[in-house]
Amino acid sequence: MSSRGDEADRSWMKTEKGEHLKGRRVRDTAPEVAPGRALHQLSFHFRLQRRVAPRCTADFVLPKPHVAVFVNGCWARLSRARGS
């Protein structure tokens, strides 16, 4: 069995189904910026986008208290669902 044939089968293919993800930001999204500003105002020192384990990147790492913060989800959608 040729390894080249396997690589071709595993490559990413462009589809219409994934087009909506094309322009989506990975870093510095609104849900990530808001807690970062709050932490900064409270004089916390933190690092952005640090790897804390293999294949696991935290959005914020607070080095002194050894805390990793993960921001997930869309806050805008949640606030609209609550009627705010």
2-32 pLDDT per residue, tens: 555 555 566 777 777 777 767 666 677 777 8
More confident residue, 34 or 10: 34
Q: Which range of residues forms the domain containing residue 84?
A: 27-84
Backbone angles phi, psi at 16, to 5 degrees: -65, -30
Q: CA 54, CA 60: separation in Å to the nearest integer?
A: 16
Asked, for residue 22, whether it belongs to a domain, the answer is: no
53 domain residue, yes or no: yes
Predicted TM-score (pTM) of this structure:
0.55
| Count of C-beta atoms within a 10 Å radius of residue 60 | 19
Is residue 44 in some structural domain?
Answer: yes
Whole-number pLDDT of residue 3: 53
Alpha-helix residue ranges (DSSP H) falling in the chain? 3-10, 30-41, 75-82
CB 25 within 8 A of CB 74: no
Query: Model confidence over 47-75: pLDDT tens digits?
Result: 988 899 998 888 889 999 999 988 876 55
Number of domains in the chain: 1
State how far the Cα of 35 lies from the Cα of 1, in Å rounded to an integer: 51
